[in-house]
Amino acid sequence: MVSRSSSSRTSPERGTRDGNICEFYEIDGDQGSISGKFGSNGRVFTLSATGWSAVVEKIRVRFDSGAETLLLEMGQYYGTSLALEIMKYGIDYTKAINDLLQTAFYSGWGKFSVKGDLPNGKDISVIVSDCVFCHEPNMRKSSCNFLRGIIVVMAETLYGQPLKVSETRCIASGNDCCEFLLEDDP
């Protein structure tokens, strides 16, 4: 059972200004492997933003109108594994939120903050500044469906109920940040 404390806004506590990435990851120079130390502590690897952009562009060419659904489902599958990894340690509600924000921050996804009625899962929005998923100049339209899939699964796991997540602002559409709004999915 997840315990919930009252907090209306939260953002990464460590690493926002002077954090050392080695606080979060352990790099094995002999094996060429990187493992997380915080939240999810399994092996990880990095992707370049340019490489990700090229993958998304190819998916769009290959799958046309189905591409955004595919990216959303990819995010949901990835988010499920991430959520299970974080939740299996029996962490409390506040720690779960902070772990998710820390994971996103130290994964280089951008700077995340969450606001709204966090204890009750109402009117929650997730704001991402400098989002890596629409970082490249060739991302001309809202392109964060992979991230939207991750967020919806994370939120549903935390709150134990179906939720809808819509991206109401996107850097790729000319906004200064990406914003995701969580709503009940009756």
Residue that is written with structure tokens 């493992």 in the block: 35
Which residues, in sequence order, are bridge partners of residue 182?
Answer: 165
CB 75 within 8 A of CB 150: yes
Q: Is 144 in the site for Zn ion (CB under 5 A)?
A: yes
182 contacts Zn ion (rule: CB under 5 A) = no
126 binds Zn ion (CB under 5 A): no
Q: Which of residues 151-180 bind Zn ion (CB under 5 A)?
A: 170, 178
Q: Which stretch binds Zn ion (CB under 5 A): 17-25, 53-61, 89-97, 128-136?
A: 128-136
Q: How far is CA 183 from CA 35, 51, 162, in A?
A: 34, 32, 9
Provide, rounded to whole angstroms, the least separation between the CB of residue 167 and Zn ion.
6
Q: Does 134 bind Zn ion (CB under 5 A)?
A: yes
Residue 125 Cβ vs Zn ion, minimum distance, rounded to whole Å:
13
Q: Which two tokens stand for residue 84?
A: 């299970």
Contacts of 84 (CB under 8 A, 6+ apart): 157
The binding site for Zn ion (CB under 5 A) comprises: 134, 144, 170, 178
